Amino acid sequence: MEGIPALTIFDTDDLNRVVAGMAKDLKLVGNQYSLLVLVFFPFYIFFQAPMTVIAKKLGPRNFLTGIVVSWGLVMVGHGLVPNWRVMLALRCLLGLFEAGFFSTCVYLLSTWYIRREVAKRNAAFYLLGSFFAGFGGILAYGISKMDGIAGREGWRWIFIIEGVLTVAMGLIAFFFLVDFPEKAMNSWRFLKEDDLKIIVDRVERDRSDVVAPPFKLGEYLQNALDWKVYFFAANFGLSSVVTYAAAYFLPIVLLDGLHFSVAAAQCLSTPCYVFASILGYSQGYWSDKINMRTPFILFNCLIEIIGVAVLGFATQNAARYFGAFLIIGGANANIALVLTYQANNIVGQWRRAFCSATIVGAGGMGGIIGSLTFRSQDAPDYRLVSPLLSREQLMTEPESDLFNAQTGPIYLPRGGYNGSTLRYNYNNSLLFQE
């Protein structure tokens, strides 16, 4: 499953290949590039909740294979467009097919592990994808050298080849993805029946919701009345503003603001994502080990604030590039932690599915804001961006503190679901009565 998020990030970030000639060939002017980025998100957001329900009905294997192959074909189409209007329509389709992928994967992971084990798994899932996708800039630069082959520009080959890779990964995934634990025996037998029973029993003791009740639309939609869903959504959305803004515009900032060459701008994004992967997985490991989430989230917000200030106002290129490390490291590490935060504190399969869809949809809203953050009129230094991104992270900190104040630690016996949405506040401590 690790290879798919890498290709997802490749495909989502491919528009930053504008530095490889797309803007010139499609005659993009004004905010047309930002519009191409923006139009993806309404479809991505709106179809999150329906897609999660479909995934539960079809099973992760069939659902994920179908949508990955579909958006891979759409990516191939990106490389064949005659003008930017056709590209606009394909971006809408890409948002539709990518909706539900991330939330389904997060939901699937949360059903296989107990809560004290989820952070490092979420970190590995998301950040290994980011790690490999970090090499997308280098890959894109290499592919762009195919310029002129078969009469196509280099940026078109970027979309075509990465789209073909996505289709291939989707087809391969069909043979390796597993179902939810209660139905895993229908998948390929990577576990013996006794081993699977051990896993199911562990999860059942942890939160008593291995088997989902029958789906009822009214009950599913009632989860929208739970304030905690919106807390997690706001946290994730604010973090996503920074991750999307950095993903879409970092090569452009490196090119126009720091005056690197096209080759350097493509390649210098990679070390930032390598750093983010190391930082995020380390935090996921220690977060599980000491049973704490919020301190790590707040630390990441702090280094993001420092990073945007340094990138926006430092005068030395080396210092500004260091600021990019802090921004991308803190923002991407927080994504995995916030996903874990909600998975730990939401009990009930359909409720958790709804919450996963909602927070990823909020991430899409963050993407809308992020896509409009770097305006062409603010080039080349983009200094007006720094206060905006800093404000997003400053808003995250009091939200986390408010959640702690509202819930606090909850003492419960081992095993047994007490009927509330929040079984315990898996944040500052994990407390059981013997």
- pLDDT of the chain, 434 residues: tens digit per residue: 555 655 565 555 566 555 557 888 888 887 787 788 788 888 988 888 888 889 888 888 889 999 999 999 999 999 999 888 999 999 999 999 988 888 888 888 888 888 888 888 888 887 777 777 667 667 777 887 888 898 888 888 988 988 898 899 889 888 888 887 777 666 666 677 788 888 888 888 877 766 777 878 888 888 888 888 888 888 888 888 888 777 767 777 777 777 787 778 777 888 888 899 899 989 988 988 888 888 898 899 889 888 888 887 888 888 988 988 998 899 888 888 888 888 777 777 788 788 888 888 888 888 777 766 665 555 555 554 545 555 555 555 444 444 454 444 433 334 443 433 334 344 443 333 32
Element (H, E) at 36: helix 32-38
- Asked if 391 and 397 touch (Cβ cutoff 8 Å), the reply is no
Tokens coding 421:
């949405």
Q: 122 and 284 in contact (C-beta within 8 Å)?
A: yes
Cβ neighbours around 418 below 10 Å, total? 12
Q: pTM (2 decimals)? A: 0.73
Q: Positive or negative CA dihedral for 403, 408, 414, 417?
A: negative
Q: What is the pLDDT of residue 338?
A: 87
90-93: list long-range contacts, CB under 8 Å, 24+ apart: 91/36, 91/39, 91/40, 92/39, 92/40, 92/43, 93/43
pLDDT given for residue 255 in this prediction: 75
Q: Which CATH number fits domain 3-208+219-407+417-428: 3.10.20.600, 1.20.1250.20, 3.10.20.30, 3.40.50.620?
A: 1.20.1250.20
For residue 4, the one-letter residue type is: I
User: Each residue of 61-93: b (16+ CB within 10 Å) or e?
Assistant: bebbbbbbbbbbbbbbbbbebeebeebbebbeb
